[in-house]
């Protein structure tokens, strides 16, 4: 789906963003669409679709979603019904549960890992 910007030019639809690192969120977040997060969150994040945690993202709680890309920090654990991508520079603590996992070198993961094994 395309949208029209203020100048009248057609542009690609962008993923919703929780960004700017200039603010922090205290409490749980539920995301119904694909989303990009660049904020500090003290709470849980539940994404019903694809979730991207950029380098500036820090989550002190559980992250749950379908497909999750992590470039930032997750301190509470991560659960995905689909794939998890841990990108270089990412930090993950406690637990990672997913159907599939791709981890680049340079990831700091300390915790329990469960990949595959049927339905989560």
pLDDT in tens, 40-62: 999 999 999 999 999 999 999 99
Q: Using alpha carbons, list the distances in angstroms from residue 49 to 22, 23, 36, 78, 112.
A: 25, 24, 11, 14, 24
3-class state of residue 60 by DSSP: coil
Residue with tokens 């689909």: 82
The least confident of 13-27, 28-42, 59-73 is 13-27
CB 109 within 8 A of CB 96: yes
Question: Does the structure show a pLDDT above 70 at 22?
Answer: no
The least confident of 12-26, 59-73, 79-93, 94-108 is 12-26
Q: What's the predicted TM-score (pTM) here? A: 0.78
- Where do the domains of the chain lie? 12-115
DSSP string computed for 34-59? -EEE-SEEES-EEESS-EEE-TT-EE
DSSP string computed for 6-25? TTS-EEEPPPPEE--SS-EE
Q: For residue 118, what pLDDT is reported?
A: 56
């Amino acid at each position: 789906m395309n949208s029209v910007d203020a100048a009248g030019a057609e542009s690609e639809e962008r993923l919703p963003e929780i960004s700017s690192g200039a603010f922090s969120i205290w409490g749980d977040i539920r995301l119904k669409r694909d989303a990009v997060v660049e904020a500090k969150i003290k709470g849980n994040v539940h994404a019903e679709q694809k979730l991207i945690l950029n380098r500036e993202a820090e989550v002190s709680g559980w992250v749950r979603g379908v497909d999750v890309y992590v470039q930032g920090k997750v301190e509470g654990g991560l659960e995905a019904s689909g794939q998890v991508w841990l990108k270089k520079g990412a930090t993950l603590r406690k637990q990672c549960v997913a159907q599939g996992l791709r981890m680049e070198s340079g990831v700091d993961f300390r915790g329990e890992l469960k990949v595959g094994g049927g339905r989560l």
